[in-house]
């Protein structure tokens, strides 16, 4: 049976995994589902409708599934979905969506450090890292294996590509392409995240192609259309460069330069 501290308050409509541990003074609201093997250390508040997968760990004073801070929100039923195996450190906040039936989504195996914030309608991938006070405004998309540095803020509707890094104290107001390092205020692309890619086992040739693609886009004195055409012509068989080009081509806010 689930281990639930006697001071915890659990709504009768909540579904708690049998191997989940709920510590002192936690509050689990209506329409919350907690999977197997989760651990709430204490003073954690989870509101619904929220579905949380197996093996997630919540440290004290996390606030998960609260209503959107969007001023347009009028109390309609909205949702939060969290995958498996995440760690949410102290005071992390994750909000439900704004529009009726909308969903904020967080993937699996992420590490969200103290005071990280995921706003309404965001979509966060797997294996991400949010350093302390890494924050997302609404409708932000974060790709798999992305890293958000401490004290960084991402403007609403921006995208952070897979395997990208946002440096500490960085202000993001446009899309950060995958595999790149963005840093500064205003943010600039500093180069390819080659160290991170090496650690994740990407072949040296693939990293070399990405570094050449970076030179085309950021050093080639080409406009976006010309740069994308050059990428597709020069690297027709590179899946990573194709992914990079497709990301840039679909950007609505433009990319960080």
Q: What is the 8-class DSSP label of residue 42?
A: S
Ordered domains of the chain (ranges, CATH):
3-139 (2.160.10.10), 197-249 (1.20.1180.10)
Q: 27: which residues sit within 8 A by CB, 6+ positions away?
A: 8, 9, 44, 45, 46
Percentage of residues in the chain having pLDDT higher than 90: 98
Rounded Cα distance, 240 and 249, in Å: 14
Distance CA 94, CA 121 (A): 10
Q: Residue 2: which pLDDT band, with cuts at 50, 70 and 90?
A: confident
Distance CA 151, CA 131 (A): 8
Helix axes 224-234, 239-249, angle to 10 degrees: 160
Given the residues 138, 153, 161, 227, select the one marked as catalytic.
138
pLDDT at site 162: 98
Confidence label for 49 from pLDDT (cuts 50, 70 and 90): very high
Say what the pLDDT of residue 68 is. Answer: 97
> For 233-248, how does the pLDDT look when each residue is reduced to its tens digit (9 = 90+)?
999 999 999 999 999 9
Is 121 considered catalytic here? yes
Radius of gyration of the chain (CA): 20
Least confident residue range of 80-84, 180-184, 210-214, 218-222: 218-222
Task: Write down the catalytic residue from 41, 120, 145, 243.
Answer: 120
Residue 1 has pLDDT above 80, yes or no: no
Predicted pLDDT of residue 17: 97
Non-local (6+) Cβ contacts of 124 within 8 A are 105, 106, 107, 110, 118, 136, 141, 142
**Cα separation, 151 vs 184, whole angstroms:** 11
Token readout for 210 is 């990405």
Task: Give percent above pLDDT 70 in the chain.
Answer: 100
* Measured CA distances, 210 to 18, 177, 184, 192, 232 (Å): 46, 11, 22, 7, 12
Catalytic choice (35, 102, 121, 243): 121
167 flagged as catalytic? no
pLDDT digits (tens, 9 = 90+) for 88-127: 999 999 999 999 999 999 999 999 999 999 999 999 999 9
Q: What is the mean pLDDT of residues 188-216?
A: 97
pLDDT tens digits, one per residue of 123-174: 999 999 999 999 999 999 999 999 999 999 999 999 999 999 999 999 999 9
pLDDT at 65 over 90: yes
């Amino acid at each position: 049976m689930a281990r639930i501290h006697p001071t915890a308050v659990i709504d009768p409509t909540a579904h708690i995994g049998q191997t989940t541990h709920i510590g002192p003074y936690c509050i689990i609201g209506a329409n919350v589902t907690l999977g197997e093997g989760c651990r709430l250390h204490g003073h954690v508040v989870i509101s619904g409708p929220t579905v949380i997968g197996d093996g997630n760990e919540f440290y004290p004073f996390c606030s998960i599934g609260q209503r959107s801070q969007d001023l347009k929100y009028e109390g309609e039923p909205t949702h939060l979905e969290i995958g498996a195996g995440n760690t949410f450190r102290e005071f992390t906040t994750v909000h439900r969506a704004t529009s009726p039936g909308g969903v904020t989504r967080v993937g699996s195996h992420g590490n969200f450090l103290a005071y990280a914030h995921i706003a309404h309608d965001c979509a966060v991938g797997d294996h991400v890292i949010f350093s302390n006070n890494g924050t997302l405004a609404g409708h932000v998309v974060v790709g798999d294996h992305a890293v958000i540095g401490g004290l960084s803020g991402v403007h609403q509707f921006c995208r952070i590509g897979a395997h990208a890094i946002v440096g500490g104290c960085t202000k993001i107001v446009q899309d950060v392409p995958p595999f790149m390092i963005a840093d500064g205020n205003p943010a600039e692309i500093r180069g390819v995240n080659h160290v991170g890619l090496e650690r994740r086992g990407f072949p040296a040739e693939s990293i070399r192609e990405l570094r050449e693609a970076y030179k085309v886009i950021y050093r080639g004195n080409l406009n976006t259309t010309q740069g994308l055409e050059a990428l597709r012509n020069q690297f027709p068989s590179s899946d990573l460069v194709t992914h990079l080009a497709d990301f840039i081509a679909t950007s609505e806010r433009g990319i960080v330069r």
